[in-house]
Structure 1
Amino acid sequence: MGQTDSSVSPQVVLMGLDLAGKSTLLARLLTGKVVETSPTVGFNVGSLELDKKTSLTVWDVGGQKSMRANWRYYLDDCKALVFVVDSSDPARLPEAQKVLKKVLSEEKLRGVPLMVLANKKDLANSMNIREISNQLDLQSHDDRLWEIQACSALKGLGLLQAFMSISKLIKKSN
Structure 2
Amino acid sequence: MGNHLSDMALCFRRVHVVLVGLDCSGKTSLLYQLKLKEFVQTVQTKSFNTERVRLSVGGASSSRRVDFQLWDVGGREKLRPLWRSYTRRTDGLLFVVDASEPERMDEARVELRRITGSAHNHGVPVLVLANKQDAPAALGVAQVEKLLGVHELSAHTPRHVHGCSAVDGRGLQTGLETLHHMILKRRKMMKTKR
TM-score range normalised by the length of the shorter chain: over 0.9
Report 1:9-158 matches (<5 A): 9-51=14-56, 52-141=64-153, 142-158=155-171
> How many percent of aligned residue pairs carry the same amino acid?
32
Q: 1:93-152 deviations in whole A, cap 9, x for unaligned?
A: 000000111111111100001100000001110111111111111111222211000000
Bigger Cα displacement from structure 2, 102-111 vs 89-98: 102-111
Gaps of 5+ in 1: none
Residue 55 of structure 1: how far off its partner (Å): 1.4
CA distance in 2, matches of 1:144, 1:71: 17
Matched letter for residue 180 of structure 2? S
CA contact (8 A) 2:116 2:157 kept: no
CA distance in 1, matches of 2:67, 2:39: 21
Does residue 167 of structure 1 match 2:167? Answer: no
SS in 2 for 1:11: strand
User: Between Structure 1 and Structure 2, which shows a larger proportion of helix residues?
Assistant: 2
- Of structures 1 and 2, the larger Rg is shown by 2
Runs (4+) off by over 6 Å: none
**Could you state the TM-score of these two structures normalised by the residue count of structure 1?**
0.93
Matched letter for residue 36 of structure 1? Q
Aligned length: 171
Question: Residues 14 and 172 from structure 1, CA distance in 2 versus in 1: closer, same or farther, beyond 3 angstroms?
Answer: same
**Could you state the TM-score of these two structures normalised by the residue count of structure 2?**
0.84
Matched letter for residue 50 of structure 2? V
Matched letter for residue 147 of structure 1? H
CA distance in 1, matches of 2:176, 2:32: 14
